[in-house]
Structure 1
Amino acid sequence: MGNQIIDSSQVDGAILVVLPKFIGDAINTLPALELLKKLYPTQRVYVLGRPFMAHLFTRAAHYGTEFINDKRYCNEQKHSLFKMAKELKQLDISIAVLLRGSLREALLLKLAGVKNVIGYAQNARSPLLSHALKLNQSEHYIYRYCQLINIPHGRPFKQFSAPKLIPKKTTCALSKKRNVALYLGGSVKGDRHYPHDLSLELINNLVMRDDIHLYLLGDKAEREEMETLRFKAGENGEKVTNLAGSMSLDILVDTIGAMDAMISIDSGPMHIASACGTPCVAVIGQGTSPWSNVAPKQSNLIALHHNSMSLSKPHMIRDITPKAITDVLATVF
C-alpha cells in the first residue's frame, strides 16, 4: 500500500488501533473508531490499551471493537515489548492505526510484522510508518484521531459523531434527591485540582439546598482528601457520600451516568459525563493541553474558564468561585 490511498474493499485481515493512555483521550478516539468500523464492517477491529481501560470499553461495546490488554502494563505476568509483539503477530493484522504518538508503539508494530501502519510523523518514527501524516497541533484531538482514518482512505467522510458511552443501571444506592457528583481532584492533579478551601465552600453551598445529595469521586490516591472534605463539612457531611477509590472504571461510568448533574475539573470523569449525556459544569484552570484541543463537543457540558491575571498556575483556578459554580448549576436544574 505504501502512502497510496487505502481501498478498504481490498483489505482482508484484521484492523488494530493503539489507544492513548489517558481516559479522556481514549473517549475522544470513539468517533474515529466509528468511522473505522463503517469502513470495515465485517472485519475484526481490535483496540490495544492499558488493562484498566478494558472496563471503559465495556460501556462502548456499540462501536463493535474488541479490546486487547496491553500486557506491557500488567501488574502481573508483565510482557516485554518483544513478547507483546509476538502476541499481536498471531492476529493477522492488515492495518494498524496509531492513536498514540510515541516511537515505542510504532516499534511494537514493526516487531509484530504489521506492514501498513498509519500515524502522525512525530517523535522520529516516520521510517516505521507506511502512512505518515503531518500533525496539525491546533486541531482538536477528535479531529486528529478521525483524520488518521479519513485521510489515508481518500477522505470518504464529511463529519463524525460525538463520543458516546452507554452506562448500565448503577448498583450504587442513590438518594431520592437530586444527585450531583463532584470530581474536584486531589493534590495528585497538581495545578488542575480545585483547592480544598474552595471545595469545602462549594460543598457547603450546595448542601444548603435540601433537594441535593453530593457524591465525591476520585481514585484511591484521592480518597483520603475527599474524606477530609466530607468530614470538614460537619453536619452537612450527612448529605455527602465519598465514593473516591471505591469503583472500577465501568462502575464509574454507570455512576456518573445515573447522576442528575456533575461538577468536574478538566479530567477523565468530565469526558465520561459528557459522553453519558449527564449535565456537567466543568471548572477549567491550568490544563495539560489547550482547552480548544480537548473540550468535549457535547452540548450537555458548560465550561467555566478562569480569567485570572496571576502568573502563578495554582492560583489561576481560584478565579472560578464556588458561587460562580453553584450559579451555573442552578441553570441545569
Structure 2
Amino acid sequence: MKRKIINNKDVMGNVLVVLPKYIGDAINTTPSIGMLRAHFPDKKIILLVRAYLVPLFERDDRYDVTVLVDHRYTAKSRLSLLNQARLIKGLNCELAIVMRNSFSDALLCWLSGIDNRIGYANEGRSFLLTHSYPFNSNRHYLQRYAYLANEPFGRPFNHMPNTYLYSDKINTDKYANNIKIGVYFGGKYKLERHYPSDLAIQSLLTIAAEISCEFCIFGDQSEADDNAILTQSLEQNNIEVRDLSGKTSLSGLVDAIAAVDVILTIDSGPLHMAAAIGTPYVAIVGLGTSPWSLVEPKTSLGVSLFANGRGLIDAELIREISPECILAAILSLNLPFKEKEHAEEHWFQKRQSIG
C-alpha cells in the first residue's frame, strides 16, 4: 500500500524521537536527528531517552534538541505507560519517529495522541503507526535509523551526515611527550566481546615497548577488577597508566575519549563515541551482538580487527587477534607528533575538525 508522504510544512507541532536503549544504538541515531533538524528547522525536537543516556544528549550544540527522560524505566520516579503518555500529550507533539522496534514504544506514541507515527512494522505494531515500513535486516544500523527520517518525507536525502556527539577537552598534559592511548577491553560481563586479560596485558606491553605512550583505561565499576589487573601489570613495568574505571560520568567518558590520540576498544559504546567525536580507533571484534558489517562505524578514522577464523568456540574467537596485530594497526594510523608543542598543535587541529 502506498503511504502518504508527510509534508514538512503541514507539521505544526513538535517532533518526538524515541531513541533506542543502548548507548551505541542511541549514538547511531544522531545522523537521523540531523536530518530531522533539516526537515524542521523551526520545530522543537524532543528526544525520549533512558535516564542514563541524558548526559550524551543534554550537551548537544548542533541540533538544538530537548531531552526528555522516559520515566517508564527509572527506578525512583517510575511512571506507568499511561502516565508517560499523558506527560507527552502535553508537549504538543504532532510527529513521532519510533527508532526502537518495540510494541510498547509504538503504543506509547499512539496513546499520546500524536497524529503522525513513523516506525518499522515489527512486533505486530503496524496498526499503531500511521507510517509503517518493512524492516530490512540487511541495512546497516545507521541506515535503518536514517531511513525513518528520509522515506516518509519523500526521500529528500541521498546521503546521511556523520554521527556526532559534543565533547569537551579535559586535562591530559601530565605526560605531554607521550602518545595518549585509551583502552576499553570490556569486563567479563561483556562475554564474547571481552578481550581476555592475558592478551590485553601482552598487547599493552607490546605497544609500550615500541611507542612512547601512556595509557588511559576506561570502564564502569563492574569492569574495575579486570582493569585493575591491567593497571597493576603496567605499573610493574614502569609504564604510565591512569585507571578511570567507575570514575567518570557518561559525558566525562566522552570527554576523556576526545582527549586521547587513539583508543583501543571492543565493539561497544566507547567505539561509537570515538567515531562520533573524531578520535581514531582500533576496534577489536570477536563475536558481537550483531553482525560486524551492520554496526561498524562509517568513518575512515579507524582500523577494525575482526576475528574471521574457523574457530567454533564463541568466547575464543577474539583470541585470534594478537598483540602484534594490534600494534601494527596502531602504527598504521600515523599517530601524532610526540614533542609537546606538536602535541598541542595536533589537539587544536583535531578539535577544529570535529567542532
- Shared fold, TM over 0.5: yes
Please tell me whether residue 183 in structure 1 is matched to residue 177 in structure 2: no
Show the counterpart of 2:12.
12
Work out the CA distance in 2 between the residues paired with 1:235 and 1:286. Answer: 32
Q: Secondary structure at the match of 1:201?
A: helix
TM-score normalised to structure 2 length: 0.90
Alpha-carbon distance in structure 2 between the residues aligned to 1:175 and 1:53: 32
Count of matched residue positions in the alignment of Structure 1 and Structure 2 = 332
Q: What amino acid maps onto 1:39 in structure 2?
A: H
Q: Distance in 2 between matches of 1:159 and 1:326?
A: 34
Counterpart of 1:92? 92
What runs of 5+ residues in structure 1 fail to find an aligned partner? none
More displaced 10-residue stretch of structure 1: 167-176 or 244-253 = 167-176
Determine the C-alpha separation between the residues in 1 that align with 2:294 and 2:123: 20
| Alpha-carbon displacement from aligned partner over 1:29-48 (angstroms, at most 9, x marks no partner) | 01111110111000001010
* C-alpha deviation, 1:61, in angstroms: 2.8
Which amino acid letter does the alignment assign opposite residue 218 of structure 1? G
Partner of 1:236: 237
C-alpha distance in 2, partners of 1:143/1:206?
35
Partner AA of 2:127 in structure 1 = P
Partner of 1:145: 145
For 1:258, the equivalent position in structure 2 comes to: 259
Does residue 131 of the first structure (1) align with residue 128 of the second (2)? Answer: no
Deviation of the 1:171 alpha carbon? 4.7
Show CA shifts across 1:14-62 (max 9, x none): 0000000111111110111111011100000101001111111134331
2:276 corresponds in structure 1 to 275
Match of 2:119 in 1: 119
Correspondence 1:302-313 to 2 at 5 A: 302-313=303-314
Where does 1:1-333 land on structure 2 (aligned, <5 Å)?
3-171=3-171, 174-176=174-176, 177-209=178-210, 211-236=212-237, 238-332=239-333, 333=335
Contact 1:194 1:317 in 2 (8 A): yes
SS at match of 1:132: strand
Q: Deviations over 1:189-219 (max 9, x none)?
A: 0100101110111121122246200011111
Distance 1:95 1:174, change over 3 A: farther
- State how far apart, in whole Å, the 2-side matches of 1:124 and 1:216 are: 43
Q: Secondary structure at the match of 2:51?
A: coil
Contact 2:119–2:133, Cα closer than 8 Å, also in 1? yes
CA deviations over 1:64-88 (Å, ceiling 9, x no partner):
2111111122231111212111111
SS at match of 2:124: coil
Distance apart, 1:331 and its partner CA: 1.8
Q: How far is 1:272 from its partner?
A: 0.6
In 1, distance between residues paired with 2:307 and 2:131? 40
Specify the code of the residue in structure 2 equivalent to 1:329: I
SS at match of 2:175: coil
Is this contact kept in 1: 2:12–2:94, CA < 8 A? Answer: yes
Is this contact kept in 2: 1:168–1:254, CA < 8 A?
yes
| CA distance in structure 2 between the aligned counterparts of 1:228 and 1:169, rounded to whole angstroms | 28
- TM-score (norm. length: structure 1): 0.96
User: After the TM superposition, which of the residue ranges 47-56 and 238-247 deviates more from structure 2?
Assistant: 238-247
Shift >6 Å, 4+ stretches: none
Q: SS state of the match for residue 161, structure 1?
A: coil
Deviations 1:78-101 (A, max 9, x none): 112121111111101101000000
Q: Say whether the 8 Å CA contact 1:306–1:316 is kept in structure 2.
A: yes
Q: Is the 8 A contact 2:234 2:240 kept in 1?
A: no
How far does residue 116 in structure 1 lie from its aligned partner after superposition? 1.5
Distance 1:237 1:6 in 2: 62
What's the secondary structure of 1:62's corresponding residue? coil
Q: Deviations over 1:268-295 (max 9, x none)?
A: 1001111111110001110111111111
3-state SS of paired residue (2:304): strand
In 1, Cα distance between the equivalents of 2:108 and 2:238?
Answer: 50
Provide the identity percentage.
37
1:47 is paired with a residue whose SS is strand
